[in-house]
Structure 1
């Protein structure tokens, strides 16, 4: 029998809801370019991704943007690209949440904005300004 008022770590669906709420707060004109971005929540990045990114510890990677930045899409010829995707890795996110003491909403927003920044090819300073506007 489950304990009454038991507290459990957020599952993938709960993290996705927080990430979608963060995406919904992205201001114009950025928001118009995010309608086709796929959001994927996984427990950890796969071995190939970790190796390609240079990570040995799967807890080091909390999120990843895969796809072509907006500015590189025009005039692209050749093989059809995979959909632009923001990957969020649940277990590393939860670990960072516990370690840092920041709210889970703030952490998810930070990672989502960072990955959106990669979608637009933004600099770190631009990503911080975007994050401040999404807050």
Structure 2
């Protein structure tokens, strides 16, 4: 009986570390429409395994796996969402929760991270749910044009 290799190069790979996820996040951000990147003014992206205990408590999370990403800062509203006023806008992606979500769904890490970035940034920079959906749809259409 012949054995067919269906591992597709996964036999020797490990889960993406923080540096790998950071690379995916910056590629995903760079692929967003220029108008969106201009609006969000190149918000720094940080990767960590889990949210701090303070964030978990502040948001009333039952588990650190309940959050994939978090925008912290003023955005356009002038209302600080978490953290210390004046420390600037940033977005944090939570590696372990993202990997857990990735394992349970049929999406690429790039698509998951893109979705998180668009939603976290879009909401805090004044976009409504329809505008956010339009951005995601435009990326889907652009990807299907490439294929």
TM range (shorter): 0.7 to 0.9
* Shift in Å, 1:127: 1.4
Pairwise CA distance, 1:71: 4.6
Distance 1:119 1:131, change over 3 A: same
Based on CA coordinates, which of the two structures has the bigger radius of gyration? 2
- Contact (CA 8 Å) 1:22, 1:134: kept in 2 or not? no
What do the CA deviations read for 1:55-108 (whole angstroms, capped 9, x no partner)? 1111010000011122538xxxxx962110010000000000001121111111
**What is the CA–CA distance in structure 2 between the aligned matches of 1:108 and 1:29, rounded to whole Å?**
19
Could you say which residue in structure 1 is the equivalent of 2:75? 69
Where relative contact order (Cα < 8 A, 6+ residues apart) is larger, the structure is 1
RMSD: 2.0
Please tell me whether residue 38 in structure 1 is matched to residue 44 in structure 2.
Answer: yes
Q: How many residues align?
A: 126
> What is the CA-CA distance between 1:124 and the residue it aligns to?
2.1
Runs of at least 4 residues of structure 1 off by over 6 A? none
Q: Give the whole-Å Cα distance in 2 for the aligned partners of 1:48 and 1:62.
A: 16
1:27 to 33, 40, 53: 33
TM-score by length of 2: 0.77
Aligned to 1:96: 101
